[in-house]
A and B are shown apart, each in its own frame.
Chain A
Amino acid sequence: MDYLAQGFLNAFVLLFNGDEETFSAIFATLKISTASISISLAGGLPLGFMLGYYDFPGKKQIRAFTDTLLALPTVVVGLLVYAFITQKGPLGGLGLLFELSGVVLAQVILVIPIVISLTATAIESLDERLKATLLTLGAKGGRIIMSSLYEARFAIMAAGVTAYGRAIAEVGISMMIGGNIKWHTRTITTAIALETGKGQFAMGIALGLVLLMIGFTVNYALIFFRRRG
Chain B
Amino acid sequence: MNKDNIIYQLNNIKQSYGNFTLKIPEFSINAGESIGLSGPNGSGKSTLLRLLALLEKPAEGDISLLKIRPGTVPVTLLQQDPYLLKRPVFDNVAYGLKIKKDTTLLKQKVQKALETVRLDPAKFMYRKWFELSGGESQRVALASRIILQPSVLLLDEPVANVDTDTSRAVSDAIRTMKKEYGTTLVITSHDMSWLTTVTDRIWKMHNGRITGSGNVNIIPGPWTERENHLFVSKLPDSTEIYASRPPESDSVAILNPEEIIVADSEIENISAANRLKGTVKMMFTDEMSGDIRLEVEASGRIFTVLITEASAVKMNILPGKMVYLIFKATSLTWA
Contacts and interface: CB of A to CB of B under 8 A. Distances in A.
Interface stretch (A31-39, A129-137, A165-173, A188-196): A129-137
Interface string A134-166: 011111000100010011010000000000000
Contact of A130 (B83, B88, B99, B100): B83
Interface residues of A, number: 16
A229 B86 contact: yes
Given A143-B99, A229-B128, A136 B76 contact: yes
Nearest to B74: A138
Contacts of A229: 86-88, 128, 130
Contacts of A2: none
Q: Give the dominant DSSP class at A's interface.
A: helix
Contacts of A129: 79, 81-83
A136 B86 contact: no
Nearest to B84: A133
28 contacts: A127-B83, A129-B81, A130-B83, A132-B55, A132-B77, A132-B79, A132-B83, A133-B79, A133-B82, A133-B83, A133-B85, A136-B53, A136-B55, A136-B76, A136-B79, A136-B145, A137-B95, A137-B148, A138-B76, A138-B96, A138-B100, A138-B148, A139-B99, A147-B85, A150-B87, A153-B86, A229-B86, A229-B88
Nearest to B147: A137
How many chain B residues sit at the interface, stated as a range, is: 20 to 34
A19 B99 CA distance: 52
A151 B85 contact: yes
Interface in B72-107: 73, 76-79, 81-83, 85-88, 95-96, 99-100
Interface of A: 127, 129-130, 132-133, 135-139, 143, 147, 150-151, 153, 229
A137 B86 contact: no
Contacts of A127: 83
B144 interface: yes
